[in-house]
A and B are shown apart, each in its own frame.
Chain A
Amino acid sequence: MKRTYYSIAALIFTLSFVACKKDFLNVKDVPANTPIEQLYSNYDYIQGIVWNAYGYLPDGFGWMDMEAATDDAYHTNVNDRSHTFNYGVWNQFNNPDNPWSYYFSGIYQTNLFLKHRGEVNLERYSNAIVNKDSTDFKKRATNIKLMEGECYFLKAFFYLELVKRYGGVPLIDTAIDYNNTASWQGLKRNSVDECMKYIVSLCNKAAVIIPDSVRTSSATSWYESGRATYGAIKALKARALLYAASPLFKDAGSTATWADAAAAANEVIAMKVYGLDGNYANLFGANNATSTEAIFFKRYGKTNGLEYSNFPIMFQGSNGNSLTPSQNYVDEFEVKVGSAWVPFDWSNPTLATNPYSNRDPRLAASVIYNGASFKSNTIQTYYGGNSGQPKQNATRTGYYLSKYVNSGVDLVNGTSFEHQWMYFRYGEVLLNYAEAMFNAYGATADPQGYGMTALQALNKVRQRTGVALSARTNLTQDSILHERRVELGFEGHRWWDVRRWKLGGQYFGAPVRSISITSNGGTFTYTPAKLEDRVYDNSKMNWYPIPQSEISKTGWSQNPGW
């Protein structure tokens, strides 16, 4: 008995020495699936870097709710971020529109391509040339070259998004390396002037690389629609210089002039490629990518999120997340009295009884008002109507959004349509041109011989087919701002146009109005009413505050007033 006991003990004793592996607690270095060198030497992978950079372009439809932070709209969802702006409670700790990290990540991505583009290895394509047919190899080599231009364009786009919000930001020209702390530590904010000059220089570099025939020439017809084109680069440059010449940027030290902005806008016009679409509503429909007015856009594929949010509440499935145009916006549209187009006036009793007849046709294309027909139904936004208060989630302004909202969508069956967001279109370029020419040379002067005066450019937009307002005979800055508001409403311009002219206190600080409609059997009584007060502090809100987390890591001084 004792012997078995000892031998069992001895067996257990030896086993305990054999069983343990000593190093299982040590941390091991495991190489990643795709090493960095392979990422840049492989053609498909490095093209993936550029596709990733495209992904950082702003989500236009996602940004539409910021229109409710302007005097153009009110957002029905009380949790929407626009209300933070409307209460005036946004600051460096709490800023719902804060893409600082987002765009710098995009810039980092473009810099990665620009730094490593020489490392791509096309040998396997050059070795695969058969029968002297080198089209595939040439396509790839050309594509790499064009991608460099695309990256300059994207970088300029991202920088403009940053500068128009925050003012001067650090300019990062070459890719920085974490292991080389001198390249990224302690960077200072560059001045607004340096930033705008850099954006323009990037656009110029990109324009040299991507030819204006890139989509039409047979040599590069494989260049996909949706990638940067020469027109897009020039349109970006025109917008950047227009902003740089505006009073807010001038006050911050920008040296760009209105003449520079006019020249840049003219470069797009002189291409003679774009024209105004004959149907204004077509610009926001499912086929807008093929319009002659479209310069640069983002394709979303088949979606219906915008429709679920913005369809009038009478349609089952409409979820009340709607961006509703305000009375301030509707009042901006002109009305035809006799044969002349005049600003709308509520004190005129004839106009006040039928406020929506004979209005600028762009109103019907942008806004659904009481009595309008939508999806074969008459929309009633009066109190007690099929889409009005007091129904839950009904519009509080009396209007619904129509621009970009595709009425063909069936909410119950969940059908969807193509949506493309226009980043640049020819209508904006003409208005940029008109504003720049007017402020540089006056309404009717054309000293540089561009072939169009400010007045002519503005009238081209006013008198486009299907809109046909009367031509203006003289211009003021207000009339230009008015034309921008009605033409480019809900396309993400209002927020920037008012701030760069330092008119925020006048427009964004004033109360937002709605329309109060009472139904008298067949007729209606319309009374504009105040919806809510807005808060806007002109002394500081024209520039966004730099996020406080960044200030505490860098020690920069904050934008004034914040």
Chain B
Amino acid sequence: MGTSNSYYNGRTEGPYANADFTWEAKTIANFGIDLTLLNKLNATIDLFTEKRTGILEQPVNVPSYTGFSFQNANTGEVVNKGFEASLQYRDKTKSNFEYYGGATISFARNEISKKAENYQPYDYLYQEGFRIGQFKALQSAGFYQLSDFDANGNLAAGVVKSTYGQVHPGDLKYVDQNGDGLINDYDKKPMRFAKLPEITMGFNLGCKYAGFDLDVFVQDVTNRTISLIDDAFDYTHPLANGNNITLFSDNPWTPDQAQTATSPRLSTLVNNNNNQQADFWLRNGSFFKVRSIELGYTVPQKGFFKRIDALRIYANGNNLISSKIERLEPERLSMGYPLMKTITAGIKAKF
């Protein structure tokens, strides 16, 4: 008999096939207007409502005691509504000063209208009926204070208990949404938006005069929510798992700072209670960025420069100004590689 083991591979039937397997379908109704006024103003406006059907997902209506496994079925549906508008104005004054300005705005709101989901005890726990990627989070109620605990270090009667870990004074306290005295996943309600922004705007300004030209492009995004737990975990959770400490935790909970604290008590031990999706960690994800500024000068074809067909000197900057969320760059919230700012200067000559 010895101690050498042989491995045998198993086999099984594959999942039941979906005989009606087909493509997703998109039905869209779009109403658009294109207009030009006075040869100076161009406007395009589009309103749309779109429905996607036949999204593939695992079926959930067969009981598990059967032991069946299935391929995906075309049962999901999503509805998307919004509009896009774009305006451009271009003009020239009598003294040859050209200027133009434009704005584009797009808005889209989606909603999962059909999804195969298991039964949930509360309506707000479903994904159906909410936007894709909707944040579901606990509502914060400050911190656990010294008065919430009795002499033995246990929670006093009537104080809401957290099922995520042993809580101590200085840990995040949450609102018990369903009134069962416990904080667990059933208290996570849909809050704010999703990470994908609903409104994106772009502004474009420029002018040309006497050989100089200036172009500025600015982007603005709103109706967006980001979670520090998802995107900036290491930035906001100091010391546990050998992590470093950042400015985010410069005012942690201590018995002296109990009323004015802005982050939970410091600890080298992991406490899952403070790692849950909660509105304490959600931030308004809107941002404003000056994407590019370009300034150039086209040298007039006089004298020495007559032999050159065109000569332009320019300077170009990308990502020069950006708003910040919690001192972090708003698109990637990365503590690592920052968004690159570039300034380029150059000469373009055509012979």
Judged by a CB distance under 8 angstroms, whether B184 is at the interface is: yes
Judged by a CB distance under 8 angstroms, whether A93 is at the interface is: yes
Closest to B2 in A: A290
State whether B11 touches A45 (Cβ < 8 A). Answer: yes
In the A-B complex, the 7 residue pairs with the smallest Cβ-Cβ separation, listed nearest first, are A108-B67, A52-B10, A48-B11, A552-B119, A101-B64, A51-B10, A549-B118
Chain A contact residues, majority secondary structure: helix
Instruction: Among A27, A52, A301, point to the contact of B22 (Cβ < 8 A).
Output: A27
Q: Name B's A-contacting residues (CB within 8 A).
A: 1, 3, 5-14, 16, 21-23, 60-69, 118-121, 154, 161, 163, 165-166, 182, 184-186, 268-272
Q: A104: which B residues are within 8 A, CB to CB?
A: 64-67
State whether A27 touches B60 (Cβ < 8 A). Answer: no
State whether A39 touches B184 (Cβ < 8 A). Answer: no
A550 to B68, CA, bound (A): 14
Q: A100: which B residues are within 8 A, CB to CB?
A: 64-65
Decide yes or no: A108 and B166 within 8 Å by CB, A27-B23, A79-B272, A290-B1 being known contacts. no
A101 to B118, CA, bound (A): 14
Chain A interfacial residues counted at CB < 8 A: 59
Cβ distance B242 to chain A, nearest Cβ, rounded Å: 10
Decide yes or no: A84 and B163 within 8 Å by CB, A27-B21, A187-B65 being known contacts. yes
Closest to B66 in A: A184
Among the interface residues A54, A87, A112, A301, which one has the most CB atoms of the partner chain B within 10 A?
Answer: A87
Q: A78: which B residues are within 8 A, CB to CB?
A: 165-166, 269-272
State whether A224 touches B6 (Cβ < 8 A). Answer: yes
A112 to B63, CA, bound (A): 18
Closest to B16 in A: A178
Instruction: Among A51, A84, A170, A184, point to the contact of B9 (Cβ < 8 A).
Output: A51
Residues 510-562 of A contacting B (Cβ, < 8 Å): 533, 547-554
Cβ distance B23 to chain A, nearest Cβ, rounded Å: 7
State whether A109 touches B12 (Cβ < 8 A). Answer: yes
State whether A549 touches B119 (Cβ < 8 A). Answer: yes
A84 to B154, CA, bound (A): 17
Cβ distance B116 to chain A, nearest Cβ, rounded Å: 12
A453 to B5, CA, bound (A): 39
Cβ distance A505 to chain B, nearest Cβ, rounded Å: 20
Decide yes or no: A108 and B64 within 8 Å by CB, A39-B13, A52-B11, A301-B5 being known contacts. no
Among the interface residues A45, A100, A553, which one has the most CB atoms of the partner chain B within 10 A?
Answer: A553
Closest to A93 in B: B121
State whether A548 touches B121 (Cβ < 8 A). Answer: yes
A94 to B271, CA, bound (A): 20
Judged by a CB distance under 8 angstroms, whether A440 is at the interface is: no
A21 to B118, CA, bound (A): 42
Q: B7: which A residues are within 8 A, CB to CB?
A: 301
Q: A392: which B residues are within 8 A, CB to CB?
A: 268-269
Judged by a CB distance under 8 angstroms, whether A144 is at the interface is: no
Q: Name A's B-contacting residues (CB within 8 A).
A: 25, 27, 32, 36, 39, 45, 47-55, 78-79, 83-84, 87, 89, 93-94, 100-101, 104-109, 111-112, 169-170, 172, 176, 178, 184, 187, 224-225, 286-287, 289-290, 299, 301, 392, 418, 533, 547-554
Q: A79: which B residues are within 8 A, CB to CB?
A: 165, 270, 272
State whether A107 touches B10 (Cβ < 8 A). Answer: no
State whether A48 touches B269 (Cβ < 8 A). Answer: no
Instruction: Among A48, A111, A301, A550, point to the contact of B63 (Cβ < 8 A).
Output: A550
Q: A54: which B residues are within 8 A, CB to CB?
A: 10
Instruction: Among B3, B8, B14, point to the contact of A287 (Cβ < 8 A).
Output: B3
* Given pairs A79-B165, A104-B64, A106-B67, 20 additional interface contacts (CB within 8 A): A27-B23, A49-B12, A50-B10, A52-B12, A54-B10, A78-B271, A93-B121, A94-B185, A107-B67, A109-B67, A169-B65, A184-B66, A225-B1, A289-B1, A290-B1, A418-B3, A547-B64, A550-B65, A551-B119, A553-B63
Q: B121: which A residues are within 8 A, CB to CB?
A: 93, 548
Q: Pick 26 A–B contacts, CB within 8 A, sort by A.
A: A48-B11, A49-B10, A49-B12, A52-B11, A79-B270, A84-B163, A89-B184, A93-B120, A93-B121, A93-B186, A100-B65, A104-B67, A106-B67, A112-B13, A172-B65, A176-B66, A178-B62, A224-B6, A301-B7, A548-B119, A549-B64, A550-B63, A550-B64, A550-B65, A552-B119, A553-B60
Q: A548: which B residues are within 8 A, CB to CB?
A: 118-119, 121
Cβ distance B183 to chain A, nearest Cβ, rounded Å: 10
Cβ distance A532 to chain B, nearest Cβ, rounded Å: 8
Instruction: Among A83, A178, A286, point to the contact of B68 (Cβ < 8 A).
Output: A178
Q: B65: which A residues are within 8 A, CB to CB?
A: 100, 104, 169-170, 172, 187, 550, 554
Closest to B163 in A: A89
Closest to A178 in B: B16
Q: A176: which B residues are within 8 A, CB to CB?
A: 66
Closest to B12 in A: A52
Q: B161: which A residues are within 8 A, CB to CB?
A: 87
Cβ distance A517 to chain B, nearest Cβ, rounded Å: 20
Q: B182: which A residues are within 8 A, CB to CB?
A: 89
Cβ distance B186 to chain A, nearest Cβ, rounded Å: 8
Q: A94: which B residues are within 8 A, CB to CB?
A: 184-185
State whether B10 touches A25 (Cβ < 8 A). Answer: no
Q: A107: which B residues are within 8 A, CB to CB?
A: 67
A87 to B162, CA, bound (A): 9
Q: B16: which A residues are within 8 A, CB to CB?
A: 178
Closest to A290 in B: B1
Q: B120: which A residues are within 8 A, CB to CB?
A: 93
Q: B269: which A residues are within 8 A, CB to CB?
A: 78, 392
A54 to B163, CA, bound (A): 36
Q: B11: which A residues are within 8 A, CB to CB?
A: 39, 45, 48-49, 51-52
A342 to B199, CA, bound (A): 77
A87 to B166, CA, bound (A): 10
Closest to A300 in B: B5
A112 to B66, CA, bound (A): 12
A225 to B6, CA, bound (A): 10
Instruction: Among B119, B154, B165, B184, point to the contact of A533 (Cβ < 8 A).
Output: B154
Closest to B125 in A: A93
Q: A55: which B residues are within 8 A, CB to CB?
A: 10
A548 to B165, CA, bound (A): 24
Q: B5: which A residues are within 8 A, CB to CB?
A: 299, 301, 418
Closest to A287 in B: B3
Q: A287: which B residues are within 8 A, CB to CB?
A: 3
Cβ distance B182 to chain A, nearest Cβ, rounded Å: 6
Instruction: Among A111, A533, A553, point to the contact of B62 (Cβ < 8 A).
Output: A553
A198 to B279, CA, bound (A): 52
A428 to B63, CA, bound (A): 36
Instruction: Among A87, A105, A533, point to the contact of B67 (Cβ < 8 A).
Output: A105
A27 to B71, CA, bound (A): 15
A170 to B1, CA, bound (A): 40
A392 to B184, CA, bound (A): 27
Closest to A78 in B: B165
Instruction: Among B12, B60, B69, B165, point to the contact of A112 (Cβ < 8 A).
Output: B12
Instruction: Among A36, A83, A552, point to the contact of B118 (Cβ < 8 A).
Output: A552
Q: A549: which B residues are within 8 A, CB to CB?
A: 60, 64, 118-119
Closest to B14 in A: A32
A421 to B161, CA, bound (A): 38
Among the interface residues B6, B64, B120, which one has the most CB atoms of the partner chain A within 10 A?
Answer: B64
A172 to B68, CA, bound (A): 13
Q: A286: which B residues are within 8 A, CB to CB?
A: 3
Q: A290: which B residues are within 8 A, CB to CB?
A: 1
Q: B271: which A residues are within 8 A, CB to CB?
A: 78
State whether B13 touches A36 (Cβ < 8 A). Answer: yes
Closest to B19 in A: A29
State whether B66 touches A108 (Cβ < 8 A). Answer: yes
Q: A51: which B residues are within 8 A, CB to CB?
A: 8-11
Q: A225: which B residues are within 8 A, CB to CB?
A: 1
